[in-house]
Amino acid sequence: MAAEASEASKASTAGSGSADHARAVGSHADLFADGIAVRDGFLSSLRIRELIECAQLRRARGDFGAARVGADRRLQRREEIRGDSTCWLVEPLFAAERALLRRLEELRLDLNREGFLGLFDLELHYAWYPPGAGYARHLDQLQGRTHRKVSIVLYLNEAWEPDAGGKLRLFGADDDYRDVEPVGGRLVYFLTAGREHAVLPTQCDRLSVSGWFRSRG
């Protein structure tokens, strides 16, 4: 497990702290060099709390549904592959959700400026993993569909305990990998094409907002 521990520490020091984030604004060199970027304190703890409350309200009124795998008419529930429930961020939105979309719009414009990615919109959902759930190793681009260009995940876990499972595991070439703990306020974004990743089974409730910046093509 030594490799895992050092990967985890690498991940948790990358871009840590809001001061680092401030310095990093306008610079996504890590995304373009490694295909992966991690930013802590992407949103304040107050904003994170508001989003948690939005998600709780939506869950209470039944907006969440069991996530399914596959595409279109072949969608199916396969809990051994994917055990989360999701809820799309669609109108009518709460104020905190609108504020998040504004922040992500800044990120989209930044990425287009720096990387000429041609990102033109964002699809976004909450994902809630109950204890025991995970998401097996997968790609975010469905076969033959390449319009998802940048995957993003913002974690909404206020008091995440290390070693509670639930890490995001990002695989590299040669089956090496990098693990990221789903700490509240942390944003992970990565180039979607070819990047296999998994959510390791979590021991605690694990909440995030995740989605994709898309291009037209």
Number of residues near Mn ion (by CB under 5 A): 1
Q: Is 109 exposed, middle or buried (0-12, 13-18, 19+ CB in 10 A)?
A: exposed
> Of 34 and 140, which CB lies nearer to Mn ion in the complex structure?
140
Question: Is the N-terminal amide bond of 92 cis, ω within 30° of 0?
Answer: yes
Nearer to ligand OGA, 69 or 114 (CB): 69
Pairwise CA distance, residues 10 & 144, whole Å:
33
Range in contact with Mn ion (rule: CB under 5 A) among 35-43, 108-116, 134-142, 173-181: 134-142
What DSSP character marks residue 49? Answer: H
By the rule CB under 6 A, 209 interacts with ligand OGA: no
In the range 105-134, which residues lie near ligand OGA by CB under 6 A? 127
SS3 call for 96: helix
140 lines the binding site for ligand OGA (CB under 6 A): yes
Q: Check if the beta carbon of residue 39 is closer than 8 Å to that of residue 25.
A: no
User: Least separation, in Å, of the C-beta of 153 and ligand OGA?
Assistant: 4
Among 110, 114, 123, 140, binds Mn ion (CB under 5 A): 140
**Cβ partners under 8 Å of residue 186, min gap 6:** 38, 39, 40, 41, 42, 154, 155, 180
- Considering the complex, state which of residue 108 and residue 167 has its C-beta at the smaller distance from ligand OGA: 167
The footprint of ligand OGA (CB under 6 A) covers 127, 135, 140, 153, 168, 182, 197, 199, 208, 210
